[in-house]
Structures are given as C-alpha cells and as structure tokens.
Amino acid sequence: MQKKRPACGPGLPQALLLIALISAAPLPSAADGAPEGPTTEALQQQIRELQARVDRLEATIQQGVPVNPAQTVQPVPGGWKKAANWNLLTKGMATHEVTEILGEPQRRRSVNKFEFWEYGDGLARLYLRRLKSWEIPTGIDVQPTPDP
C-alpha cells in the first residue's frame, strides 16, 4: 500500500501557481518581432527544479517538523508513572517526543487517522502522529521534582 502524499505543503501552492502561469502565457514567436524569452527547455528545467523542491518539502513534512525545536525537555526517570513527565507534554508534540517522555505505551489502538496510547488508566490521544490531548493516570507519583 502506498503512502498518500499530503495534498498541500509549504511551497506547493506557489509551484502550482508558477506552472499554471507558465502554461497559460502566450508564447511570442520570432515572426511577431517579439524579443525571445526563456526557451521551452529552460522552462521545463525550472519546473523540474520546482518539483524537486516540493518533493523535498513534502518529505520533511512526512518526517514530522518539530513544533518548537528550541524547547528542550528533560523527563525524569520513571516514564509515564511520574506526574512530572505528564506535565512536560504539550499539544502538537510528535510521536517520538511523547515516547521520549512517557516511554512506550502499554497498548496502542488506531482508528482511521487517530491513535490512542494507553498508559495504565491514562491515555494519550494523537491525530496524524501529533499529540492532541491526554489524561494523566490515577495513582502515579505526584511528588514535585526539584528545579535544576
């Protein structure tokens, strides 16, 4: 089964607009006495370069672009069994960031583009591999951690 490409990504609308403008533009002929513009081959090369750029941007999106790369998160040992780690979660985190903080879930369920990760009686809800909401499990260690 092939992965579906995102319908739209950064740069895609601009590339499509450029292609549409190039396709719709009337080509002057030498007989009209109009100055010669870019050759067809040059325009085709430009389209190939733009398509390669769009492909690179879409690949970056599929890998997951960090929401805030400057933010560093230091989970405390104990994974999901520590309240301090649940407090480090933020909406929009990528799946790998959630597992770095809480560890692997005890159970995973998928429904269409949604994922539900279970940690004890706690739950992390993800949509398109991004954290949307969570419920902290009951009976976990809630002792505050000292500030560094």
Cβ neighbors of 56 (< 8 A, separation 6 or more) are: none
Asked whether residue 7 is domain-assigned, the answer is no
pLDDT digits (tens, 9 = 90+) for 11-20: 667 777 677 7
Together in a domain, 18 and 54: yes
Asked whether residue 3 is domain-assigned, the answer is no
Q: Name 131's bridge partners.
A: 126
Together in a domain, 94 and 46: no
The number of folded domains in the chain is 2
pTM of model > 0.85? no
Asked whether residue 5 is domain-assigned, the answer is no
- The residue range of the domain holding 107 is 79-135
Together in a domain, 55 and 94: no
Range of lowest pLDDT (11-15, 23-27, 69-73, 110-114): 69-73
pLDDT digits (tens, 9 = 90+) for 49-90: 999 998 888 877 776 655 555 566 688 888 999 999 999 999
More confident position, 68 or 128? 128
Task: Identify the pLDDT of residue 55.
Answer: 87
Together in a domain, 84 and 123: yes
Radius of gyration of the chain (CA): 24
Asked whether residue 112 is domain-assigned, the answer is yes
3-class secondary structure, 9: coil
**Would the pLDDT of 4 be above 90?**
no
Together in a domain, 22 and 57: yes
Widest CA span in the chain: 84
Asked whether residue 144 is domain-assigned, the answer is no
Asked whether residue 55 is domain-assigned, the answer is yes
Round to whole Å and give the CA distance between 109 and 94: 17
**Would the pLDDT of 97 be above 80?**
yes
Task: Identify the pLDDT of residue 61.
Answer: 75
How far is residue 104 from each of residues 40, 46, 137, measured CA to CA in Å?
Answer: 54, 45, 15
Asked whether residue 96 is domain-assigned, the answer is yes
Asked whether residue 110 is domain-assigned, the answer is yes
